[in-house]
Amino acid sequence: MSPLYAYGVLPADNTRSADQPPLPPGVAGSEVHLVAGGELAMAVSAVPSEDFAQDRLASRLEDAEWTAALAQAHFDVVEALFAQGPLLPLRMCIIFESADRVRAALADRAPVLTSTLHRLAGAAEWSVKVVRRPARSGGPPVPAEPAATSGADYLKRAAARRDERQDAGLAQARFVERLRGQLAPVVTADRDAPAASGHLLRASYLVRSDAAPVFLRVIEDANATAERLGLTVEIAGPWAPYSFVPRLQEAS
């Protein structure tokens, strides 16, 4: 019997209407289907045990290209399901031995899964990053300064350049704080992603669909200011609320 690879949890009454586009194939090419248990259902697809059995999966995952393709296929299915209605996205590589085991897992966690589905209904995750633009290449040429006439002169200029950099840094930090403040009343929740160099802001926002136009307008307005400060506001999404679901680690 083939293992079942799981993508997400959704309400069992979430029947697909006929005019919805077909789901993309599952991670191993077989069709995605729902296993219902109580009021919930899990979207799964059969996967070959050559690749996905306990003793095979770890070594398959060492193949980075195989894994990247798996991640992309997982994401594509999750996004297609999310486009059709409420969905709790599962982390990659959650695999069950049978449909009965899927139903048991749903039953175990039904209360928290159901309440999370209600909490997240109608909202999607967006990613917002504020990055420093790479050193200008197209800007006006900086006039060459005449050589420093003395050691004291050199030090004075160095201090002035340092002050300029500090002022720019302060203005950038103030900009990010202002942006956070403007987004706060628009979004339902936020999570900071781990810092990365060159990023002044890396965050995930949970945005209800009716708030999305305002959210996008805030970003657009911010981008005009960002430009003047040598920054860029990058936005990606919307996608299923990966960052806003409970982790529900193993009970054991």
Partner 1 sequence: MSESYPAAPRDRQVGVTPQPASLADVLELVLDKGVVIAGDIKINLLEIELLTIKLRLLIASVDKAKELGINWWESDPSLSSGAPAAQGSGNGQAQVERRVAELEQRVEALTGEKPPPGR
CA distance 81 to 124: 13
Distance CA(32)–CA(11), nearest Å, equals: 16
Structure tokens at 85: 């209605």
Binding to partner 1 in span 123-162, by CB under 8 A = 126-127, 129, 131, 133
| Of 15-23, 28-36, 154-162, 189-197: span binding partner 1 (CB under 8 A) | 189-197
Considering only residues 104-123, where is the footprint of partner 1 by CB under 8 A? Answer: 105, 109, 113, 116
The residue written with tokens 């996008």 in the block is 216
Using CA atoms, how far residue 51 sits from 62, 76, 99, 102, 249, in Å, is 12, 20, 19, 19, 24
CB 239 to partner 1: min, Å = 6
Closest to partner 1 by CB, 16 or 133: 133
By CB under 8 A, residue 1 contacts partner 1: no
In the complex, the smallest distance separating the C-beta of residue 144 from partner 1, rounded to whole angstroms, is 21
Q: Please, what is the minimum distance in Å from the beta carbon of residue 18 to partner 1?
A: 27
Whole-angstrom CA distances from 188 to 30, 67, 125, 149, 179 are 36, 33, 10, 58, 15
Taking CB under 8 A as the criterion, which residues in 35-74 touch partner 1? 52-54, 57-58, 61-62, 64-65, 67-69, 71-74
